[in-house]
Structure formats: structure tokens, C-alpha cells
Structure 1
Amino acid sequence: MAKKIKFNLQVNGASVSSLESLQNNFNIEHIMEHFKSGLLMRWLEVQGLETELKELKKLDQNSDNLAQSILKIFDMDHLDKNDLKITLADINYKEYKENLLKTNENLEKNAKSFLREYHDKFRDIIWDIIKNSENVEKIKSNLKIIENDYFDLFLLQFQTLVNVFKTDAPLALIFGLGTEKIRKMILAYIKIEATKDHNKYCYIGDEEIDDKTKEYLNSINLKPIDYLRYGYFEAISKVVYESLKFDYSKLGDVIKIFNGSTDGLWRDLVASNKRVLVLGISSSTKASQIPKVGETNKPIGIDEINGKFIILNGLNFQSSNNNAYIAYVEL
């Protein structure tokens, strides 16, 4: 019969040769690794620790309570529960990753490749907007792609992109106001900036929010649209607020400007089947979306329009002043 050769078990940086030494240097992560490799059982056997060996052989490697069972066998279940939870979470994640890698040995390589391609594609979209800064259809198409597939990256780089668009592609900001999520984000920061309260939250989507926050958002006429804490992007609001004061004369024929009097009558400027972003209006003048059949105009003026970037279905205009004007974009 071959003689059993004793050996030390490496645990937590120590060379363990007894049960007491094992308990003094106990590390559940290392112990579980030795258990799954079979080394722990061999060590117990050569040390003559039959009771612990017998109990370990009863355990299932795939049991959800494996760690707790091992702790109990070695009288270590008094360990700090919070520290243990963190350690077990780390172990679970490592096992999860190992199992994935066994399923697909190229997973990590493929994931990195995918992320690189994803970021590169987003960069290409931004460059395409800049290179085609006067091409309305290109800009609208790219903004739609950003909203559908790259909005998280857009959020992360929001401040930088606003600065870039302000300088190199101002139409991207204007048509961004005609989108769903980009528009909401820009207007949210402008409205919160106006309240000077940078400690509130706003939300994108249908996230759950508490009643107090909901009441606050309603008080500033802001719907729950953005889950990012405003204070985290404190500088953004100022950048956006200043960026949206456009010099319309430099933006070509995209920005429509009507000047003059309509003799106090309503004049149709844009048909009702088109969406219109109203950029600005002079005082003592009124605008309205085209009323439906049987309805009348609902006039709105400078207080409801300037700085609000409202969107209307069609556009009617009314003025009695030759110096009156309205600036708008057909979306």
C-alpha cells in the first residue's frame, strides 16, 4: 500500500498544514477552488481529517448553498455576512464568466470587437453629420439612428457633441429639437437651469419616480423624461442654453422667416400635414397650428413660443405690424 505523502494547502497566501491553520487563514474563494479541483479532499485525507472529508463528499458542486455548507463544515459560519456576500458575488461572477468562456472561447475577443465596432460606428455617424452639415435629410436620418441605437453613447458625450454641433453643424441641434428623446433631454436641462435647482432628477422613459419628485417636475412643467441626475451634468445646461440662440441668417433656406403684417388676419404658412418647430416670434404677434375642421385658431405669442421650441401641426400667423416676424423649421 502506497504511503500517503503529506503536503501543505495554499490558502490566502499561507501554507496550511493543519485544521487550525486552515481556519486561521480561511478564504472561502480559495477553499471552494480547492474543493472543486479535488485538492481539498486529498489534503483532508492525508491529514487524517476524516470527519470533514466525509461531510465534504456529501456536497454537490452545483449546489446554490455550497459556500454556506463548506463554512459550516469548517466551523467558519460566523464570518462577517456582508463581506461574505461580496465574496460570493465575486465567485458567482467568475463562475458565470468561466461558463460563458467555455461555451464560446472567443466571447471576450468578440465582445471587445463588437464594442469597438459599436463606438466606431457612432463616431462615423457624428462625422457624417458634420460633413453633411447642410444636408437636412442626412442629418435627420443620422439623428434617428442615434435615438434608436446609440442614445446611451450620445448621453455620455452630450456636452462635447453640443459644442461640436454648435460650431460645425448647428442644424443638428435644431433638428435634434424635432426628435423625441434628444429634444426632451435638451429642453429638460434648459428648464431646470431656469429654476436654478441643480439637485433634482428627471427621467427618460417610464422609470418609477417618487411623488415629491413628480410634483416638482410638474411645478416646472417638466414631464418625467430623463433618469440622469442633473447635478452630474451641471455644466451641460449652460452650454445648451447658450447654444440654442441661433443666428438664423447663417443657416440657409432651412430656417424659414416670415416678415411683415397680415393686416390682423390669419395667414397659412405651413400646411397641417407638416410638423413645424417654431424658433422665435416678435412681440404683439400670434401663431397657431392649423385648426381642424370645425375648430378655431388657438393663438399663442412670445411668452409661449420664445425659448420653448414648440412643435405645431402646420402653422398660422397673425400680425398687424410691418416689423413683425416669425422663424420656424419644417420638420
Structure 2
Amino acid sequence: MAKTIKFNLILDDYPVRNLEGLQEHFSIEDMLKYYDNGLLLRWLKVRGYEKQYTDVESIDKTISRKELIKALIKIFEVAEMDEAEIEKSIMILTYLEEEKEMNQIYKENTFAKKQIIEDYHSGYDALIIHMEENKENMAILKADAIQLEKEYLGLFELDYFKLYSRLANNAPKAIFAILTRDVFRKFWIGEEADEGIYNHIKSSMLTKTKVKEILGEDLKIVKRNTQAMWDPIERPETKLMVIQIQPGTFIKNAGEFSEKLSYADVNDKLLRFNGLEYQCNNENHELLYMEV
């Protein structure tokens, strides 16, 4: 037969071996803990306190913590405790338990938030990598730019400077795709843009030679002498972004009778148009644009 191993209860930091010790060092907090985890019943059993074991086991599990303490005080014949002292102890225990529960909830929520943030950053990083991997496919780059706007605008606003440098080196065509979206333009181009980025775009990306190299087949080139007449190039439903026109030539949105924009109005601004009409007197001049 296995030998019954006796153990002590630690009440108020004292090792308790018998009922006298339990009565002397009765601690509401410790007794509740041992009642909840079952150690009180095990202690009573191995110590041979059958009556107390039966009484504790018979306590109604639905009673309040205050009534439970009163029941334990009666079972173990503890010197009468003041009602206010019991109330105070219960209040403190309730506060500690609620604080512990709230800390756990906070910990879980913090972990969840951290995971959400990590997933958000991972999604952003994956999108930029996808742009780099598809750096020659304008259709995919435009779709990625839309996703960047819908899902990662906040990160773009924090990362726009480094992102520009990264794409300028690894996927310059993606910069043109991103600039087709209104929300991104103020960061990279125009009077409100970062001056360093805007100057780099003008000097290193919008020269005729460089833009042809970057955009390739996605760049549309028109060479036409319109005899000083307005020549329709694209219908109004076609959205486009003009890269460059030559001095002495003019463009306007399709159907806009009062509009007439010169190269000073257009160049280095990547203006968007709804359709396009063109006026030019030199067949060697080039109109450069791309569809949005």
C-alpha cells in the first residue's frame, strides 16, 4: 500500500500541520486559494480531519465569497472575525482578481494588436517586393498601387522617402504607377512634395531619354503636325498622364474648348487628362504620355 504523504498548508507564510495552526494563522486569501485549488480538502484528508473534510466538501458551490469565508470560519472554529474585516478582505481580493484578469486581457489584446501590426507591416513589405518582382508589368504595378492606397496608405506616409529611393533603384516604373493615384502625388511631385524627391524625378526620371528607357512600351509617343488645328489624340473616357510636350506645342482635355496648356504648364508635373487634344506645327516634336 502506498504511503500517504502528509504536507503542510502555508497560511500567512507559516507552515500549518494541524487545526490549531490553521486557527492561529487563518488567512482569508490563502484559505480561498486552497479551497479553490482543492488543496484544503487534500490536507484535511491526509491529516485525518474527517468531520471538517465532510463539512468543507458540503459547502454550496454557488454561495458568494463572503458567505464562503463565513462557512470556513465556522467549520474551523476560528475566533470570531469582524464583519468589516471580512468585507475589506473580500474587497481587496476581488480587486486583485479583477486586476489579474484585466492584466491578462490587456496582455492578450496587446499580443493581438502586436500581431495585427506585424501582419500589416508584412503585407506592406510583401506588396513592395511584388512591385519589384513585376517591375516591367505596368498593369500589375497599377493594381499594386491601388492596393497600396486602399490598405497601406498609413505606412506609405511614414515610409514614402525610403520607398521612393528603393523603387528608384529597383523598380522605377512602379513610381509612375504610384503617381497615377491622387493620394500619393503630394509626397513625390509638385510644390508640396519633398524637394529632394521632386528634384530627382525631374532630373533623373522625366528626361526624354530616361522616361523612354523606364516606361518602354507603356510610353505612348505622338509625332504629328496638326497644322495649328486641335487634333484629337485620345477620347474623353481615356484617362492618361502626360509626361512631356515640346515648346511651341499645346494640349488640352478632350472637348475642353477654352483650355490650352503649353509645355511650361505641363512639363515636370505629370498632369492627368480625360482624353487628349494636341496642337503642333512640327512633325518632329514628340508628345509623351501614358494611360492611367
Q: Which band: TM-score by shorter chain?
A: 0.5 to 0.7
Partner of 2:237: 273
**DSSP 3-state at the match of 1:287:** strand
Partner of 1:323: 284
C-alpha RMSD over aligned residues: 3.3
Counterpart contact for 1:289–1:297, Cα < 8 Å: no
4+ runs of 1 displaced by more than 6 Å? Answer: none
Partner of 2:197: 239
Mapped to 2, the partners of 1:310 and 1:127 lie a distance apart of 28
Aligned AA (2:198): V
Q: CA shift at 1:98, angstroms?
A: 6.5
Q: CA shift at 1:297, angstroms?
A: 5.3
Aligned AA (1:321): N
Residue of 271, 274, 288 corresponding to 1:313: 274
What pairs up with 1:46-125 in 2 under 5 angstroms? 99=102, 101-102=104-105, 106-125=108-127
1:127 has 2:85 as partner: no
Residue of 234, 239, 250 corresponding to 1:286: 250
Residue of 260, 264, 281 corresponding to 1:299: 260
Q: CA shift at 1:166, angstroms?
A: 1.4
Q: CA shift at 1:192, angstroms?
A: 4.2
Counterpart contact for 1:166–1:243, Cα < 8 Å: no
CA shift in 2, pair 1:100/1:290, >3 Å: farther
Identity of aligned residues (%): 22
Partner of 2:211: 248
Aligned AA (2:146): K
CA shift in 2, pair 1:117/1:318, >3 Å: same
Mapped to 2, the partners of 1:297 and 1:172 lie a distance apart of 34
Q: CA shift at 1:237, angstroms?
A: 2.3
Aligned AA (1:122): Y
Counterpart contact for 2:186–2:192, Cα < 8 Å: no
Aligned AA (1:248): V
CA shift in 2, pair 1:239/1:184, >3 Å: closer
Mapped to 1, the partners of 2:176 and 2:228 lie a distance apart of 30
Residue of 141, 144, 168 corresponding to 1:142: 144
Q: CA shift at 1:109, angstroms?
A: 2.7
1:193-212 CA distance string (max 9 Å, x none): 7xxxxxxxxxxxxxxxxxxx
Counterpart contact for 2:240–2:289, Cα < 8 Å: yes
Partner of 2:169: 167
1:191 has 2:191 as partner: yes
1:258 has 2:222 as partner: yes
Q: CA shift at 1:315, angstroms?
A: 0.7
Mapped to 2, the partners of 1:259 and 1:243 lie a distance apart of 24
CA shift in 2, pair 1:253/1:297, >3 Å: farther
Mapped to 1, the partners of 2:101 and 2:139 lie a distance apart of 47
What pairs up with 1:197-216 in 2 under 5 angstroms? none
CA shift in 2, pair 1:312/1:98, >3 Å: farther
CA shift in 2, pair 1:100/1:318, >3 Å: farther
- Long gaps (5+) in structure 2: 1-22, 26-83, 93-98
Q: CA shift at 1:102, angstroms?
A: 3.0
TM-score, normalisation: structure 2: 0.61
Q: Which has the larger radius of gyration?
A: 2
Aligned AA (2:153): F
Counterpart contact for 2:220–2:290, Cα < 8 Å: yes
How many residues are treated as equivalent by the alignment? 204
Counterpart contact for 1:290–1:297, Cα < 8 Å: no
TM-score, normalisation: structure 1: 0.54
Mapped to 2, the partners of 1:297 and 1:131 lie a distance apart of 44
